[in-house]
Amino acid sequence: MTRGREVLDLPVWSRTSGPSHGPHCRDAMAHLDSEVKEERLREDLKFYFMNPCEKFRARQQIPWKLGLQILKIVMVTSQLVRFGLSNQLVVAFKEENIVAFKHLFLRGYSGTDEDDYSCSVFTQEDTYESIFFAINQYHRLGNLSLGTLGYGEKEDSRIGLKVCKQHYKKGTMFPSNETLNIDSDVEIDCIHLGLQALSNNPQDWKNSSFFKLEFYRLLQIEISFQLKGIDLQTIYSRELPDCYVFQNMITFDNKAHSGKIKIYFNSDANIEECKDLNISGSIQRNIQYVLVFDAFVIVICLASLILCTRSIVLALRLRKRFLNFFLEKYKRHVCNTDQWEFINGWYLLVIISDLMTIVGSILKMEIKVKNLTNYDLCSILLGTSTLLVWVGVIRYLGYFQAYNVLILTMQASLPKVLRFCACAGMIYLGYTFCGWIVLGPYHNKFEKLNTVAECLFSLVNGDDMYATFAHIQQKSLLVWLFSRLYLYSFISLFIYMILSLFIALITDSYDTIKAPSHPHSPPHHGLLSGVFLWMALCFHGGPGLTFKGLTN
């Protein structure tokens, strides 16, 4: 009797059935098992597409990623602000030194560059005086400069100036008779002027044959020298100072032979590790605090990276379950669009920003202890990562229907906008090349391809229209008429037609988003895909329905 009672307590499908009941029980077991698997899959899908607040209400799961992202935003932004303030000191020191160099070494420099060059000379006497002025100023640098500057060694380990001139090999020219006999081969002659040579009688090197210039053969003269400096303003900011090497070059450009020699001043500033620093005070302690803060940022980003990577792995497993379930039960394949619903682009965005923040923080720490000096790469990494972090905040605003209009509109309009821009870009490039070749000699905004593209883009936005019309040189009536036709047609086409159509595409997507969506669709989807349609219909019509988004 005891054994019989135990048998009666077992589930129906666990009894030892006779031959007449075997197939029926196996079918019941399979059907029940299928329903259980489907119910679990539907619950897992529903939970996966919930926002953090809904997950907390459903399973009391603490939104660790949400809290970590909020903390990361604060930490990364604080780190960027500190680095930006430090980088401002570097940029200011470089720019102010370059301005000081121009005033020191360029004779008659007014403080404002002439176009893309610093200044110009128009007579032979002014040319000689400008060359000798730069050389003399270099010699007297210690008594003239207000900065922390000193002489640097060039590649050959010598201190001094290197003066080089480029000129045609030989030739004769008689403009009055319109005759020219010249060898087009270019020769380069150089001379080194050390501090000792400059300390001697100046007439010794000024009267040398090197400075006997034949201007009709002269192409350009280059005066190159190296200076070193120490940025002491970082000490005031409780940071270690940087040591700079300035590679300076003054170029007298006579390639045009137009009677005007353009003078260019170029300076490349490189940061080097100071050889011997002995600074007392609280600077070292401040550096340790900054390094600890940067290390904490790296730890936070590593935790965020691990959590987001784990979420992507779990999403891929859930997608695999979903694909196998539909293939097994409905003998259907899920389309690519529905498969991409499982890949959360926000996780990918966070992973990229975390990687960039980690690498940028490591570079920042190396810069802080003066093992590296590449501020530009560190700025790009930290700046881009902070941009991605703040863009990711939009995801949380998208959980509220009053704030997710921008996200939904961008998602809906992006494919159409990209196709439209591809077509409009062809017209834009055509106008760019046409304006460059025709108007380039007569308008400073059309001299280079990049400036033409920038000028046309500003015209599309209604900026600086009158100046673009007015600055065209009226030396050729044909070119002047063409410029009017060119500008009027471009402005009319792009502002009144292309730009209006561009706005209409976005407006159309916005109107589509405003249309009421399915009541069971998630808050971040205005239109139902196959995955969400299946989840919604299972609550009402059961599984025996046909679904949009599924293909045979």
Closest CA to 87 of 378, 304, 344: 378
Instruction: Give the confidence band of 522 by pLDDT, cuts at 50, 70, 90.
Output: very low
Largest Cα–Cα distance of the chain, in whole Å? Answer: 136
What average pLDDT is seen over the chain?
A: 79
Question: Distances in Å between the alpha carbon of 123 and those of 126, 128, 168, 369?
Answer: 5, 9, 20, 52
Residue 292 C-beta-side C-alpha neighbours within 13 Å:
6
Tokens of 377: 């790469």
For Cα atoms 22, 24, 25, give the angle at the middle one, nearest 5 degrees.
65
List phi, psi (to 5°) of 473: -75, 135
List phi, psi (to 5°) of 258: -100, 5
Tokens of 403: 């704030």
Place of tokens 């129906």: 12
Neighbouring residues of 212: CB distance < 8 A, sequence distance ≥ 6: none
Nearest 10 degrees: Cα torsion 77, 82, 83, 86: 160
List phi, psi (to 5°) of 437: -80, -30
Tokens of 258: 């137009």
Place of tokens 């897992």: 44
Inform me whether the pLDDT recorded for 519 exceeds 50.
no
Neighbouring residues of 465: CB distance < 8 A, sequence distance ≥ 6: 459, 491
pTM (2 decimals)? 0.70
Chain centroid to Cα 176, Å, comes to: 56
Question: Distances in Å between the alpha carbon of 233 and those of 110, 228, 229, 269?
Answer: 27, 16, 12, 17
Q: State which amino acid sits at residue 141.
A: L
Q: State which amino acid sits at residue 180.
A: L
Instruction: Note the pLDDT tens digit of each residue in 322-340.
Output: 777 777 776 666 666 666 6
Instruction: Give the confidence band of 12 by pLDDT, cuts at 50, 70, 90.
Output: very low
Residues of the chain above pLDDT 90, percent: 26
Given a contact cutoff of 8 angstroms between Cβ atoms, the answer to whether 79 and 382 are in contact is: yes
Tokens of 416: 């159409």
* Highest mean pLDDT pick, 14-18, 39-43, 102-106, 182-186: 102-106
- If one counts every other C-beta atom within 10 angstroms of the C-beta of residue 55, the result is 16
Inform me whether the pLDDT recorded for 264 exceeds 80.
yes
Inform me whether the pLDDT recorded for 54 exceeds 50.
yes
Instruction: Note the pLDDT tens digit of each residue in 367-408.
Output: 887 777 778 889 999 999 999 999 888 777 777 767 778 878
Instruction: Note the pLDDT tens digit of each residue in 461-497.
Output: 888 888 888 888 777 788 889 989 999 999 999 999 9
Neighbouring residues of 117: CB distance < 8 A, sequence distance ≥ 6: 253, 262, 263, 264
For Cα atoms 251, 252, 256, give the angle at the middle one, nearest 5 degrees.
120
